[in-house]
Structure 1
Amino acid sequence: MAATNLKALLKRHFGYDEFRPGQETIINTALDGRNSLVVMPTGGGKSLCYQLPALATGGLTLVISPLIALMKDQVDGLRSNGIAAEFLNSTLDNRTAAEVERSAQAGVVRLLYAAPERVSMPGFRRFLGTLDLRMIAIDEAHCISEWGHDFRPDYRQLAELRELFPQTPIMALTATATERVRRDIVAQLGLDGCAEFVSGFDRSNLTYNVKPGAGSWETLLALLDERKGQSAIVYCFSRKDTEELAARLTSDGHPAVAYHAGLAADTRRRTQERFIDGEVPIVAATIAFGMGIDKPDIRLVVHHALPKSIEGYYQETGRAGRDGLPSECVLFFNEGDRAKQEYFIRGMTGEARAVADRQLQQMVDYCRLNTCRRGYLLGYFGDAMAGGSCGNCDVCLAERQSVDVTVVAQKLLSAVMRTGERFGVAHVSDVLLGRNIKRIRELEHDKLSVFGIVDDYDRDGLRLIADGLVERGLIGRADGQYPTLGVTTDGREWLRKRGSLTLDLRVDEPPPQRETSGEPNAGKERTAGKTRGGANTPDAALFEQLRALRRSLADAEGVPAFVVFGDITLNGLAAAKPIHSRDMLAVSGVGPTKLDKYGEAFMAVIREYVGSMTLAAGENASGRPVNGGASVASTRRPAGDASVRELGDTHQLTRRLLQQGLTVAEIVAQRGLSQGR
């Protein structure tokens, strides 16, 4: 298909004028009938790579997706864009499922979503044989590999689809796959010679932070205070942890729900729906939550416990900021955290245990980094970062200063040796700080000459010094269940020669203080409503009105808010303030389909908002041109008019009319709002 026709489909159904990097080539490969493996970071636009070919080729595209909630979200979004899509899963009764199957056989459906468990059933495969099947898309394809972090045996059965439909192109997609996992995906699916597209793994809008586990509760509350009302996931170690944390957060003013595999299926489904719909902003969850969750506006992902692997961590943090807006990923870490994971690893045998040990060690290494965290993550997946600093992780953002640590380094090395080189940094630090605790007394380490000789550093400071000494090769760290410190040959030689040492140490921020009065976000700039000058800057007050309207429309349709418009599109509308259709179409994310469906409702809010601002400024009735020359004179009404009294609250009236069953077009006509064409 010609590039111009593809772009026409892109604008009509998705509202975008241009493809993201790599998408068009992948789409053309599918249209040429070739198999492909697509590795693209979360939020990079993987779904479009098979959704657009489904529109261009006709027939039916089968999408194999691992989670029921993900299917529903994808289908809701496609239908909102005017695309015929359905899903088949256990939430449908027999009658509804039969209707979906008949629609697919009649050629009405363009994209059909199903879980791998269903696809492996003989009856479903016979049903596939009755369809005009043009393409098969396998999402979360890393689940087929034993070397991946989320292996699912049912994915192995998908290899049989190659035998059943040898002429039907397959597109395997994932956001997380090392070279070894990619090779395994290709082998398991029989895609030898397929086109491979490996986009960069960098998520530049995400900020990566590792913070001390000590004081994590106050830090977590401060993070949530900064993002009041925004969506966040807090990953916990155990089911009990999720329930306790959710209850504690709720009692502290941050509504949260728990999610884990031990909950009833209906409870899990309802919890996920409430989070996706924006009814509850925070989920405290085990890793059972969220694989492939299609919610673009998650602003914070917190790991309250140490992840098992870099792949799992990258996948989980990838749920933040899928819309491309700035979002944060925070991991709380203590050296002792690895013991919880090692308890389960000890139950493994053979190569599985060796792999799990190695993956956990890589995760611990990430937490200990004094160099760029993004660079480490990219390097793990075989990607590279230009330069030595990303400028968007805690290591790269931290202020640093050169500090002469000669004296404290001597004390630390001496303490490591005098305690027998069989303890970790926590115990050695406690000795140096002179802590009167039972363990130290039992070992009689309170009688050592190094006991209590440090008073200018705290525990965290000593840990940073120890990490610096490890990097300099003066201390060795024996990793395992209990990571002990030992002085190296170079370290002993340095002590003997009484050398000097300077380290570049981070100047850490003071401990977070919670807001005790006023707005929790006071003095902090929210992502969605920046108010600094500039024609392309979203108007914060208008953004909130548009968001309220979006919520009303979404509630009326029974879909998540982002299905109507994502935050990026709302930002565009709040910045451009379009009051005519041609101007609204110029906003990214608005295509003809959504313009027809929602355009007048949003432009009505914008017209009234612009009118209120004009009246507030005391402008004359002739109207000053706004929005590139469009006049707002037509939006003004006499001061006594009811619509002026409702200025800024148009979404409330719109919601009432929607609840009465009126369409957007009927609401516009009833309210007498001018239609800009």
Structure 2
Amino acid sequence: MPDGHQAPGHESPRDVLHRVFGFPEFRGLQAEAVERVVQGGDALVLMPTGGGKSVCYQVPALVRHGVAVVVSPLIALMDDQVAALRQLGVSAGALHSEVEPDDASRISRALNDGTLDLLYVSPERLMMSGTLERLWRQEVSLIAVDEAHCVSAWGHEFRPEYRMLRRLRQDFPGVPRIALTATADARTRDDILEALDMTDAAVFAASFHRDNLHIAAQPKTTEMGQLTAFLKRRTGQAGIIYCGSRAKVERVAQSLKTAGEPAIPFHAGLSPMEKRVALTRFRSGEAMVMVATIAFGMGIDRPDVRYVVHLDMPDSPESYYQQIGRAGRDGDRADTLLLYGGEDIVRARHWLEQSNAPETERRIRAGRLEAMISLTETPQCRTRTLLACFGEALDQPCGHCDTCANPVNLFDGTVAAQKVLSAIYRTGQMFGALHITAVLRGERTPMVEKHAHDRLPTWGAGSDQTDGFWRGVIRQLVAIGALRRGEGERAGLALVTERARPILRGETTVMLREDTPDPIASRSRSRASKAAPVATVDVPAGPFDALRAWRLAESKQQSVPPYVIFHDAVLRDVAAIQPQTLDDLSLIKGFGVSKIERYGAAVLRVLKEAT
């Protein structure tokens, strides 16, 4: 089987970038990664979502001889990538269970006659003997493993079938391989390289800092009220709301629909037809709210998702970063909100304790969970804290997260913590936060009277503070590990002796966050100086709207998502620059040769009619 190699006299990577993709220069580490693969070396590429990872294998695929094989985890991801490449005049195809027979035959013919540039395939399909045998007879230019964190047992979306890809070194000797991911800490990176037998690969790690992503977290008070307030300021925008269970997805989606929001549910329990309809609506460019479990999102290329909300806390910074990364892929401002509570933390720790995983794995998961908890409660720059989870040090506060926009006040909460711990201990470590709060505030609830807790010394010891104050203290004591979930049927809050005893004895000072009444409202009144507006140039509304309307009609005619034709950012540049000729268009980023040939005349016509 012949090895892939660069063809003599072929275009340079930079020429391909400009001619096909319409970009004059590579960004960041793209040029180095591309050159490594073009020259036949292996590479691991770590870039944030929207950072241009796909260019790192698509350009080499067009420079080197043969067909590039791209291993991809989801049908939606493959279809979006193939549709976008075909718009650029690239011969690309995907083989998966939902490909129409005629399209599959066309792809097979192109593969056999050597005219296919890129073939997207799932790991399961690739490892089938028939697929491998066909590829052995072809000249394979490179093998790309996308969403490579799925390879790692320590990754947040581990897929065992990805482990089979290790054999590709033996099956395709001399063919360069490139693994790509947007999220991987040091342990996951090492595991990816080991699992794929790519220990000699060059590692290209870009900064994970995305200054268009505005990160915020808020303790849960009235969950749906907080969510509704957040959405009211984002009417007409597309966003994703993540929930921890299917039942909650259905409940939240129904509540939002009743309130008039264009919300639809998505989770693994839906039928294939229901999932397909939901994905089609989301990819169409419609302004909508997708309420989903983590079964939704990986590989979704829609660039104009303006917000991501978590109603339940993810179990690791890697999962969290991957999910919020689905917002603002176009580089425009996007907002994220994580609503969390002490019950989330207690539940997550409890399930980890009950896990049957090996002790080594449990320790790693526990470390990641604690990092996630620290991220929710940090009084420091939240972006800085998140990036530290990936081994990246930000020189200064980001200026575009909630704690930068509205700095957090700390207070000495030692006495308050002692009151909470004492109340939990004296009530038998059997009750939850609501009951403990009632005891501290001196409320005569039926439960308090039933258990005679109004006779305890701690009853009424915190009557000078609000319910919210005591819930905040309890939540933060859970976060620092002084409280946990108890055992038995009535598993309430219980003391973690080694953490709680020093606090009760006054040997440890407990500094607590001062929860603000409405952090989101405050943030909307006080934007950070580095907050990026959605549009960065002066864009005439008439031409821009006309171009978007033309693009929508064109996408419907072709049955492709609007964003694979042109991103909003490209249309904004057209509306702002007002090109008069095809040569003028060629100077705008995103207009390669194929796009100018296919759409140039139409774009100029629409622009002329709208001005």
TM-score with structure 1 length normalisation?
A: 0.79
Alignment correspondent of 1:223: 230
Deviations 1:37-62 (A, max 9, x none): 11111111100100011111232100
Q: Which residue of the other structure, out of 297, 316, 322, is the alignment partner of 2:323?
A: 316
Query: What is the CA–CA distance in structure 1 between the aligned matches of 2:211 and 2:438, rounded to whole Å?
Result: 39
Given the alignment of the two structures, is residue 433 of structure 1 paired with residue 438 of structure 2, yes or no?
Answer: no
Given the alignment of the two structures, is residue 108 of structure 1 paired with residue 115 of structure 2, yes or no?
Answer: yes
Report if the CA contact (8 A) 1:219-1:512 is conserved. Answer: no
Alignment correspondent of 2:283: 276
Q: Which has the larger radius of gyration?
A: 1
For 1:416-565, list aligned pairs within 5 A: 416-420=421-425, 422=429, 428-454=436-462, 457-462=465-470, 477-479=482-484, 482=493, 484=495, 489=502, 492-493=505-506, 505=514, 507-509=516-518, 528=534, 536-565=537-566
Deviations 1:535-564 (A, max 9, x none): x32234443332222211111111101111
How far residue 428 of structure 1 moved from its aligned partner, in angstroms, is 4.5
**Cα pair distance change 1:238/1:217, threshold 3 Å:** same
Query: What is the CA–CA distance in structure 2 between the aligned matches of 1:218 and 1:540, rounded to whole Å?
Result: 33
How far residue 449 of structure 1 moved from its aligned partner, in angstroms, is 4.5
How far residue 97 of structure 1 moved from its aligned partner, in angstroms, is 2.1
Q: Specify the SS of the correspondent of 2:37.
A: helix
Amino acid in structure 1 at the alignment position of 2:459: F
Given the alignment of the two structures, is residue 174 of structure 1 paired with residue 188 of structure 2, yes or no?
Answer: no
Deviations 1:500-526 (A, max 9, x none): x9988465537869xxxxxxxxxxx99
Report if the CA contact (8 A) 2:307-2:334 is conserved. Answer: yes
Deviations 1:457-478 (A, max 9, x none): 434434556788999xxx9724
Query: What is the CA–CA distance in structure 2 between the aligned matches of 1:372 and 1:144, rounded to whole Å?
Result: 31
Alignment correspondent of 1:586: 587
Q: Specify the SS of the correspondent of 1:302.
A: strand
**Cα pair distance change 1:490/1:46, threshold 3 Å:** same
Alignment correspondent of 1:12: 19
Alignment correspondent of 1:533: none
Query: What is the CA–CA distance in structure 1 between the aligned matches of 2:593 and 2:441, rounded to whole Å?
Result: 67
For structure 2, the residue ranges without an aligned partner over 5 or more in a row are 1-5, 487-492, 523-530
Moved more, 57-66 or 481-490: 481-490
Alignment correspondent of 1:307: 314
Report if the CA contact (8 A) 1:46-1:173 is conserved. Answer: yes
Report if the CA contact (8 A) 2:417-2:503 is conserved. Answer: no
Q: Specify the SS of the correspondent of 1:46.
A: coil
Amino acid in structure 2 at the alignment position of 1:186: L
Aligned residues: 583
Report if the CA contact (8 A) 2:442-2:461 is conserved. Answer: yes
Q: Specify the SS of the correspondent of 2:425.
A: coil
Query: What is the CA–CA distance in structure 2 between the aligned matches of 1:174 and 1:30, rounded to whole Å?
Result: 16
How far residue 600 of structure 1 moved from its aligned partner, in angstroms, is 2.7
Q: Specify the SS of the correspondent of 1:166.
A: coil
Query: What is the CA–CA distance in structure 2 between the aligned matches of 1:367 and 1:124, rounded to whole Å?
Result: 46
For 1:123-134, list aligned pairs within 5 A: 123-134=130-141
Moved more, 365-374 or 299-308: 365-374
Report if the CA contact (8 A) 1:529-1:540 is conserved. Answer: no
Report if the CA contact (8 A) 2:418-2:503 is conserved. Answer: no
Q: Specify the SS of the correspondent of 1:299.
A: strand
Query: What is the CA–CA distance in structure 1 between the aligned matches of 2:62 and 2:465, rounded to whole Å?
Result: 63
Report if the CA contact (8 A) 1:209-1:330 is conserved. Answer: yes
Deviations 1:112-138 (A, max 9, x none): 100000011011100101211110001
Q: Which residue of the other structure, out of 85, 90, 95, is the alignment partner of 1:83?
A: 90
For 1:129-168, list aligned pairs within 5 A: 129-168=136-175
Alignment correspondent of 2:418: 413
Q: Specify the SS of the correspondent of 1:568.
A: helix
Query: What is the CA–CA distance in structure 2 between the aligned matches of 1:414 and 1:253, rounded to whole Å?
Result: 44
Query: What is the CA–CA distance in structure 2 between the aligned matches of 1:308 and 1:204, rounded to whole Å?
Result: 24
TM-score with structure 2 length normalisation?
A: 0.87
**Cα pair distance change 1:138/1:147, threshold 3 Å:** same
How far residue 174 of structure 1 moved from its aligned partner, in angstroms, is 1.0
For structure 1, the residue ranges without an aligned partner over 5 or more in a row are 514-524, 531-535, 611-677
Report if the CA contact (8 A) 1:411-1:450 is conserved. Answer: no
Q: Specify the SS of the correspondent of 1:420.
A: helix
Query: What is the CA–CA distance in structure 2 between the aligned matches of 1:320 and 1:203, rounded to whole Å?
Result: 11
Alignment correspondent of 2:490: none
Alignment correspondent of 2:390: 381
Report if the CA contact (8 A) 1:424-1:483 is conserved. Answer: no
For 1:175-254, list aligned pairs within 5 A: 175-254=182-261
Query: What is the CA–CA distance in structure 2 between the aligned matches of 1:268 and 1:328, rounded to whole Å?
Result: 26
Q: Specify the SS of the correspondent of 1:214.
A: coil
Query: What is the CA–CA distance in structure 1 between the aligned matches of 2:205 and 2:476, rounded to whole Å?
Result: 35
How far residue 604 of structure 1 moved from its aligned partner, in angstroms, is 2.6
Report if the CA contact (8 A) 2:90-2:117 is conserved. Answer: yes
**Cα pair distance change 1:58/1:228, threshold 3 Å:** farther
How far residue 571 of structure 1 moved from its aligned partner, in angstroms, is 2.4
**Cα pair distance change 1:299/1:431, threshold 3 Å:** same
Alignment correspondent of 1:332: 339
Q: Specify the SS of the correspondent of 2:290.
A: strand
How far residue 576 of structure 1 moved from its aligned partner, in angstroms, is 2.1
**Cα pair distance change 1:504/1:369, threshold 3 Å:** closer
Given the alignment of the two structures, is residue 372 of structure 1 paired with residue 381 of structure 2, yes or no?
Answer: yes
Q: Specify the SS of the correspondent of 1:161.
A: helix
**Cα pair distance change 1:545/1:226, threshold 3 Å:** farther
Query: What is the CA–CA distance in structure 1 between the aligned matches of 2:11 and 2:111, rounded to whole Å?
Result: 29
Q: Specify the SS of the correspondent of 1:605.
A: helix
Amino acid in structure 1 at the alignment position of 2:373: V
Q: Which residue of the other structure, out of 74, 82, 87, is the alignment partner of 2:81?
A: 74
Amino acid in structure 1 at the alignment position of 2:453: H
* Identical amino acids, percent of aligned pairs: 36
Report if the CA contact (8 A) 1:158-1:189 is conserved. Answer: yes
